[in-house]
Amino acid sequence: MPKDRAPTRIQKKNRAAILEAALNVFSAHGFRGATVDQIATEAGLSKPNLLYYFPSKEAIHTALLSGLLEIWLAPLHDLDESGDPLHEILSYIHRKLQMSRELPRESRLFANELVQGAPRINDALSNDLKTLVDEKTKILTHWMDQGKIARLHPYHLIFSIWALTQHYADFDVQVRSILGDEDPFEGADPFIDTLYRKLLTP
Protein backbone atom coordinates (compact mmCIF):
# COMPACT_ATOMS: atom_id res chain seq x y z
CA MET A 1 0.00 0.00 0.00
CA PRO A 2 1.40 3.46 -0.86
CA LYS A 3 2.88 5.27 2.16
CA ASP A 4 3.00 8.83 0.86
CA ARG A 5 -0.22 9.80 2.66
CA ALA A 6 -2.18 8.70 5.69
CA PRO A 7 -4.47 5.71 5.08
CA THR A 8 -8.19 6.35 4.79
CA ARG A 9 -10.79 4.78 7.05
CA ILE A 10 -11.58 2.18 4.36
CA GLN A 11 -7.92 1.37 3.91
CA LYS A 12 -7.50 0.87 7.66
CA LYS A 13 -10.59 -1.32 7.71
CA ASN A 14 -9.37 -3.46 4.80
CA ARG A 15 -5.89 -3.84 6.25
CA ALA A 16 -7.37 -4.95 9.58
CA ALA A 17 -9.68 -7.40 7.78
CA ILE A 18 -6.72 -8.88 5.91
CA LEU A 19 -4.68 -9.36 9.07
CA GLU A 20 -7.64 -10.89 10.91
CA ALA A 21 -8.30 -13.28 8.01
CA ALA A 22 -4.61 -14.13 7.74
CA LEU A 23 -4.50 -14.94 11.45
CA ASN A 24 -7.30 -17.48 10.94
CA VAL A 25 -5.67 -19.02 7.88
CA PHE A 26 -2.08 -19.10 9.13
CA SER A 27 -3.01 -20.46 12.57
CA ALA A 28 -5.01 -23.24 10.91
CA HIS A 29 -2.70 -24.14 8.02
CA GLY A 30 0.73 -22.75 8.89
CA PHE A 31 2.74 -20.54 6.57
CA ARG A 32 3.39 -23.21 3.96
CA GLY A 33 -0.19 -24.44 3.84
CA ALA A 34 -1.76 -20.98 3.59
CA THR A 35 -2.34 -19.17 0.31
CA VAL A 36 -3.07 -15.58 -0.66
CA ASP A 37 -6.31 -16.78 -2.25
CA GLN A 38 -7.46 -18.32 1.04
CA ILE A 39 -6.66 -15.13 2.93
CA ALA A 40 -8.43 -12.95 0.35
CA THR A 41 -11.54 -15.15 0.47
CA GLU A 42 -11.54 -15.12 4.28
CA ALA A 43 -11.21 -11.32 4.25
CA GLY A 44 -13.99 -10.88 1.70
CA LEU A 45 -11.65 -9.15 -0.76
CA SER A 46 -10.39 -9.90 -4.23
CA LYS A 47 -6.82 -11.13 -4.57
CA PRO A 48 -5.72 -7.97 -6.46
CA ASN A 49 -7.29 -5.82 -3.74
CA LEU A 50 -5.41 -7.73 -1.05
CA LEU A 51 -2.13 -7.38 -2.94
CA TYR A 52 -2.63 -3.61 -2.96
CA TYR A 53 -2.12 -3.67 0.81
CA PHE A 54 0.44 -6.48 1.08
CA PRO A 55 2.66 -7.52 -1.85
CA SER A 56 3.00 -11.15 -0.76
CA LYS A 57 1.97 -13.86 1.66
CA GLU A 58 5.28 -13.39 3.46
CA ALA A 59 4.60 -9.67 3.95
CA ILE A 60 1.27 -10.47 5.62
CA HIS A 61 2.86 -13.12 7.81
CA THR A 62 5.69 -10.82 8.85
CA ALA A 63 3.24 -8.05 9.76
CA LEU A 64 1.29 -10.46 11.95
CA LEU A 65 4.39 -11.80 13.68
CA SER A 66 5.78 -8.33 14.34
CA GLY A 67 2.61 -7.27 16.11
CA LEU A 68 2.40 -10.59 17.93
CA LEU A 69 5.92 -10.35 19.34
CA GLU A 70 5.09 -7.04 21.01
CA ILE A 71 2.00 -8.58 22.62
CA TRP A 72 3.83 -11.78 23.56
CA LEU A 73 6.72 -10.05 25.29
CA ALA A 74 4.67 -7.48 27.21
CA PRO A 75 4.02 -9.68 30.30
CA LEU A 76 7.72 -10.51 30.64
CA HIS A 77 8.62 -6.83 30.30
CA ASP A 78 6.35 -6.19 33.30
CA LEU A 79 8.25 -8.53 35.64
CA ASP A 80 9.31 -5.97 38.25
CA GLU A 81 12.50 -6.41 40.27
CA SER A 82 11.13 -4.15 43.02
CA GLY A 83 7.99 -6.26 43.52
CA ASP A 84 7.42 -9.33 45.65
CA PRO A 85 9.20 -12.18 43.78
CA LEU A 86 6.52 -14.83 44.13
CA HIS A 87 3.76 -12.38 43.24
CA GLU A 88 5.67 -11.12 40.20
CA ILE A 89 6.37 -14.59 38.83
CA LEU A 90 2.85 -15.91 39.47
CA SER A 91 1.35 -12.78 37.88
CA TYR A 92 3.48 -13.41 34.81
CA ILE A 93 2.34 -17.04 34.69
CA HIS A 94 -1.34 -16.12 35.02
CA ARG A 95 -1.03 -13.49 32.28
CA LYS A 96 0.59 -16.03 29.96
CA LEU A 97 -2.20 -18.50 30.64
CA GLN A 98 -4.79 -15.79 30.05
CA MET A 99 -3.16 -15.04 26.70
CA SER A 100 -3.48 -18.70 25.75
CA ARG A 101 -7.16 -18.50 26.59
CA GLU A 102 -7.84 -15.23 24.79
CA LEU A 103 -5.32 -15.42 21.93
CA PRO A 104 -5.11 -19.08 20.88
CA ARG A 105 -4.73 -18.32 17.17
CA GLU A 106 -1.83 -15.99 17.87
CA SER A 107 -0.15 -18.66 19.99
CA ARG A 108 -0.49 -21.26 17.25
CA LEU A 109 0.81 -18.81 14.65
CA PHE A 110 3.92 -18.23 16.76
CA ALA A 111 4.36 -21.97 17.42
CA ASN A 112 4.09 -22.77 13.70
CA GLU A 113 6.77 -20.20 12.92
CA LEU A 114 9.11 -21.71 15.50
CA VAL A 115 8.52 -25.27 14.26
CA GLN A 116 9.58 -24.10 10.78
CA GLY A 117 12.84 -22.72 12.18
CA ALA A 118 11.63 -19.13 12.69
CA PRO A 119 12.84 -17.88 9.26
CA ARG A 120 10.87 -14.64 9.53
CA ILE A 121 11.57 -13.75 13.17
CA ASN A 122 14.94 -15.32 13.86
CA ASP A 123 16.61 -11.91 14.20
CA ALA A 124 14.01 -10.81 16.74
CA LEU A 125 14.46 -14.03 18.73
CA SER A 126 18.26 -13.73 18.70
CA ASN A 127 18.23 -10.07 19.67
CA ASP A 128 15.07 -8.63 21.27
CA LEU A 129 13.86 -11.82 22.94
CA LYS A 130 17.27 -12.97 24.10
CA THR A 131 18.11 -9.54 25.52
CA LEU A 132 14.84 -9.45 27.46
CA VAL A 133 15.18 -13.00 28.79
CA ASP A 134 18.80 -12.37 29.82
CA GLU A 135 17.65 -9.28 31.71
CA LYS A 136 14.85 -11.10 33.52
CA THR A 137 16.95 -14.16 34.40
CA LYS A 138 19.35 -11.80 36.20
CA ILE A 139 16.40 -10.62 38.30
CA LEU A 140 15.37 -14.21 39.03
CA THR A 141 18.94 -15.12 40.00
CA HIS A 142 19.13 -12.08 42.28
CA TRP A 143 15.95 -13.18 44.06
CA MET A 144 17.41 -16.68 44.41
CA ASP A 145 20.64 -15.28 45.86
CA GLN A 146 18.56 -13.36 48.41
CA GLY A 147 16.73 -16.55 49.38
CA LYS A 148 13.37 -15.11 48.32
CA ILE A 149 12.62 -17.95 45.88
CA ALA A 150 13.99 -21.48 45.52
CA ARG A 151 17.19 -21.87 43.51
CA LEU A 152 16.34 -23.14 40.04
CA HIS A 153 17.90 -22.80 36.60
CA PRO A 154 16.41 -19.40 35.64
CA TYR A 155 16.27 -20.01 31.89
CA HIS A 156 14.61 -23.38 32.27
CA LEU A 157 12.15 -21.85 34.70
CA ILE A 158 11.07 -19.43 31.97
CA PHE A 159 11.01 -22.21 29.35
CA SER A 160 8.76 -24.29 31.61
CA ILE A 161 6.33 -21.38 32.02
CA TRP A 162 6.14 -20.93 28.26
CA ALA A 163 5.66 -24.65 27.65
CA LEU A 164 3.01 -25.15 30.31
CA THR A 165 0.90 -22.07 29.64
CA GLN A 166 1.05 -22.13 25.83
CA HIS A 167 0.21 -25.84 25.74
CA TYR A 168 -3.45 -24.99 26.32
CA ALA A 169 -3.58 -22.94 23.12
CA ASP A 170 -1.21 -24.89 20.88
CA PHE A 171 -2.69 -28.30 21.79
CA ASP A 172 -6.26 -27.13 22.38
CA VAL A 173 -7.83 -29.98 20.38
CA GLN A 174 -5.95 -32.61 22.38
CA VAL A 175 -6.75 -30.98 25.72
CA ARG A 176 -10.45 -30.61 24.96
CA SER A 177 -10.76 -34.12 23.52
CA ILE A 178 -9.59 -35.47 26.87
CA LEU A 179 -11.49 -33.10 29.17
CA GLY A 180 -14.73 -33.11 27.18
CA ASP A 181 -17.12 -30.39 28.31
CA GLU A 182 -14.86 -29.19 31.12
CA ASP A 183 -13.33 -25.76 30.59
CA PRO A 184 -9.58 -26.52 30.62
CA PHE A 185 -8.66 -23.10 31.99
CA GLU A 186 -10.83 -23.46 35.09
CA GLY A 187 -8.63 -26.31 36.22
CA ALA A 188 -5.38 -25.08 34.71
CA ASP A 189 -5.24 -21.79 36.59
CA PRO A 190 -5.33 -23.17 40.17
CA PHE A 191 -3.20 -26.19 39.24
CA ILE A 192 -0.41 -24.07 37.73
CA ASP A 193 -0.61 -21.63 40.64
CA THR A 194 -0.16 -24.45 43.15
CA LEU A 195 2.60 -26.06 41.11
CA TYR A 196 4.75 -22.95 40.89
CA ARG A 197 4.06 -21.82 44.46
CA LYS A 198 5.47 -25.13 45.70
CA LEU A 199 8.31 -25.06 43.19
CA LEU A 200 9.38 -21.50 43.98
CA THR A 201 8.95 -21.45 47.77
CA PRO A 202 12.40 -21.77 49.41
Residue 70's pLDDT is 83
- Residue-wise pLDDT for 132-181, tens only, equals 999 999 999 999 999 999 999 999 999 999 999 999 999 999 999 999 99
- Residue-wise pLDDT for 81-132, tens only, equals 999 999 999 999 999 999 999 999 889 888 888 888 888 788 878 888 999 9
Delineate the domains of the chain, giving CATH numbers in brackets: 1-55 (1.10.10.60), 65-200 (1.10.357.10)
SS (H, E, C) the chain: CCCCCCCCHHHHHHHHHHHHHHHHHHHHHHHHHCCHHHHHHHHCCCHHHHHHHCCCHHHHHHHHHHHHHHHHHHHHHCCCCCCCHHHHHHHHHHHHHHHHHHCHHHHHHHHHHHHCCCCCCHHHHHHHHHHHHHHHHHHHHHHHHCCCCCCCCHHHHHHHHHHHHHHHHHCHHHHHHHHCCCCHHHHHHHHHHHHHHHHHCC
Residue 187's pLDDT is 95
Residue 198's pLDDT is 97
% of the chain at pLDDT higher than 70: 98
Residue 5's pLDDT is 66
Residue 194's pLDDT is 97
Residue 66's pLDDT is 83
Mean confidence (pLDDT) of the chain: 92
Q: Taking 60 as the threshold, does the pLDDT of residue 1 lie above it?
A: no
